[in-house]
Amino acid sequence: MLVGIVGAPNKGKSTLFSSMTSVDVQIADYPFTTIKPNTGIAYVTERCPHTSLGFAACNPKNSACINGTRKIPVKIIDVAGLIEGAHMGKGMGNQFLNDIAAADALIIVVDASGRTDLSGNKSTGSNPSEDVEMVLSEMSEWIAQIIKRHMNDARRVDISAMLHNALSGLNISDLQISMAIESAGLRGDLSTEKGIYEISKELLKKSKPFVIAANKSDISGAEGSIKILQEKYGKERVIACSAATELALSKAVHSGIISYDPVKGISVQKKDISPEQSKALDFMGKFVKEHGTGVQELINTVYLKVLDNLIVYPVEDENKLCDHFGNVLPDAILIKRGSSAKDLAAHIHTDIAEKMLYAVDARTKMRLSKDYVLKDNDIIKIVSSAKSI
């Protein structure tokens, strides 16, 4: 799974990317800082099961566990800023759109303070809702143009087959195409511009669901814009955040100036800091205590809620909760909600899934069928004639 950070220029996309991934990228206060896409690893987090099961520690292999918090690596991409007319080649145009094609979901970054316009230039009183609509419109127009280029195929094959051929490089599945056709109410050929655009919007909605990062929430005036965004798009889809604060705190931690825990807050470790640093840390400490930076909430929201995943822990020994090396809770797996025990087996190895006999709930020790629907935080042993996991 891949999540793309998108938005108009100068909204804080690259700052958000750096705060999520700890990757240094070019950050500046002018449009089109990002030209080539930046890719990195962020982490979905949840409380590790070992903390409530009487184990002093776990031994992660595919993830990390820090102070009882399991951190599961996920992929993030930050692409060039998008402006009106990008689908016609303006700005970074088609490069942006091609870079984001593989994404499974989007984080649309807006300037909640309203101090940058649609082109990323300094402004006052700009409406961040317009940023969201511009991004969605440009991406829908992009998909519509691709469909138009394949319209001759529509005379020879049905709509689903034509769209599958046209959109093969956009990470859009056959199921998503079928759902978009149903939602758009299309049964025959795509005969009008309106019809093409409507199905393009539905395809975007189904294949690239989004969450909004209401960035720069620490700046005066942001609160009103965030409320408007939440009323329009829903509270669960709009996350107030301050990427700059999260990034500054991260750098201060790496420099040994502070210790920082999103729950416990900030603790100054070095006493020989300047008055300016002390003032900045006081401000950020108060802000984090009252609001949080929202950055981790964004990652968890897009991967667990927008992409509808849950976290499960496969083990080989259901009593010791370990693999055959004795590693306690070695793997944390992100898997689609609604997945079965057999789906988990397939995630581990196709041969194990093909020869699977049953599963065991390591908490209750109950035998589970191959069709058992996984729940969040399940600890599961797969029993297979190929191998026991």
pLDDT tens by residue, 324-363: 999 999 999 999 999 999 999 999 999 999 999 999 999 9
Spatial separation of the C-alpha atoms in residues 369 and 389, rounded to whole Å: 15
Q: Across the strands, what pairs with 212?
A: 108, 238
Measuring CA to CA, which residue among 29, 124, 20 is closest to residue 73? Answer: 20
Q: What percent of the chain has pLDDT over 90?
A: 54
- Among 85-94, 162-171, 222-231, name the most confident range: 222-231
256, with CB counted inside 10 A (0-12, 13-18, 19+), is: exposed
Max Cα–Cα distance, the chain, nearest Å: 75
For the cut 90, the answer to whether the pLDDT of residue 260 exceeds it is no
For the cut 80, the answer to whether the pLDDT of residue 31 exceeds it is no
For the cut 80, the answer to whether the pLDDT of residue 89 exceeds it is no
Spatial separation of the C-alpha atoms in residues 294 and 284, rounded to whole Å: 13
Residue 25: predicted pLDDT? 43
Spatial separation of the C-alpha atoms in residues 320 and 328, rounded to whole Å: 7
For the cut 90, the answer to whether the pLDDT of residue 60 exceeds it is yes
Confidence of residue 262 (pLDDT cuts 50, 70, 90): low
Spatial separation of the C-alpha atoms in residues 80 and 35, rounded to whole Å: 5
**Letter for the amino acid at 325?**
F
Spatial separation of the C-alpha atoms in residues 162 and 196, rounded to whole Å: 13
Output the six-digit token pair for 169: 């490089």
Q: Average the pLDDT over 166-184 and give the result.
A: 86
Q: Average the pLDDT over 2-12 and give the result.
A: 92
Residue 166: predicted pLDDT? 83
Residue 228: predicted pLDDT? 94
For the cut 80, the answer to whether the pLDDT of residue 261 exceeds it is no
pTM: 0.87
For the cut 90, the answer to whether the pLDDT of residue 108 exceeds it is yes
Measuring CA to CA, which residue among 243, 180, 241, 184 is closest to residue 211? Answer: 241
Confidence of residue 32 (pLDDT cuts 50, 70, 90): very low
Spatial separation of the C-alpha atoms in residues 335 and 329, rounded to whole Å: 16
Backbone φ and ψ of 253, nearest 5° = -65, -45
Residue 30: predicted pLDDT? 41
For the cut 90, the answer to whether the pLDDT of residue 272 exceeds it is no
Output the six-digit token pair for 363: 């908490």
Query: Residue 14 belongs to what H/E stretch?
Result: helix 13-21
Give the SS3 label for residue 178.
Answer: helix
For the cut 90, the answer to whether the pLDDT of residue 278 exceeds it is no
Backbone φ and ψ of 41, nearest 5° = -115, 125
Q: Average the pLDDT over 135-156 and give the result.
A: 80
Residue 125: predicted pLDDT? 81
Q: Which residue has the tokens 């999260």?
A: 246
**Range in 127-141, 150-164, 242-256 with the lowest mean pLDDT:** 150-164
**Range in 2-6, 42-46, 266-270 with the lowest mean pLDDT:** 266-270
Q: What percent of the chain has pLDDT over 70?
A: 88
Output the six-digit token pair for 5: 């950070």
Average pLDDT, the chain: 86
Spatial separation of the C-alpha atoms in residues 104 and 94, rounded to whole Å: 18
Residue ranges and CATH numbers for the domains of the chain are 2-229 (no CATH), 305-384 (3.10.20.30)
